Amino acid sequence: MAKALFIIDVQNDFTEGGALGVAGGAAVALGISQYLARNPEGYDVVIASRDWHDADNDNGGHFATNEAPDFATTWPVHCVAGTPGAEYHSALDTNRIDVHVKKGQGKPAYSIYQGTTDDGETVPQLLDRLDVTDIDVVGIATDYCVRASALDAVSDQRQVRVLTDLTAAVAEASRVAAVAELAEAGVDVQESVSLPQTEADA
């Protein structure tokens, strides 16, 4: 049995100054790096996702091209493959990432489960191969891609925990709703700073 950390979409376009910047995004990037530095042996595998959208199409209607985005199912152009906006935020220590997952690539994608590795492996295949049973989830945004990833992981029969102090949300109302939905689905919602010292040092 193995334990994984999902780092969801800590990218320039989702942090302050980006195309879909979330307040607190840069602090989350730094907080995740500090958390991993304090817990170097805390996870058997660290898996990070990125939105990685096509530049030459609307990505299955994900990008608003002819009308204003509704910020629910259509969005401004963001995280286009190979652009600075799609790169990890500079405060995130990418040396601690073991597996990189790209999602989108021509279609809407919110959950890390909708992505693949550069070798074409799906996330369920990866987790099964590594015998991952427990997953902690951090990243951006609490109320969208973190939510979707955690819900998919618990549906995949994993033990899932979201560390809310290492996430940032688009809006407070949707954050509250997402946290309630996650808890109802069986996700353990707590803060990394509240973890037992023995676990944090594991």
More confident site: 115 or 200: 115
Q: 128-167: per-residue pLDDT in tens?
A: 999 999 999 999 999 999 999 999 999 999 999 999 999 9
Instruction: Work out how many domains the chain is built from and give that number.
Output: 1
Close Cβ partners of 77 (under 8 Å, ≥ 6 residues apart): 19, 53, 63
Cα dihedral 60, 64, 69, 75, rounded to 10, equals 60
pLDDT higher than threshold 80 for residue 68: yes
Q: Are 127 and 103 within 8 A, CB to CB?
A: no
pLDDT of residue 202: 45
Q: Are 116 and 62 within 8 A, CB to CB?
A: no
- Rounded to an integer, the average pLDDT of 82-95 is 97
Within 10 A of 121 (CB to CB), how many other CB atoms are there? 15
Q: 40-64: per-residue pLDDT in tens?
A: 999 999 999 999 998 888 888 888 8
Mean pLDDT of the chain: 93
Could you list the active site residues? 9, 103, 145
Residue 131 sits in which domain range? Answer: 2-200
pLDDT of residue 67: 84
CATH of the domain at 77: 3.40.50.850
Share of the chain above pLDDT 70, in %: 97
Q: Which residues pair with 2 in a beta bridge?
A: 132
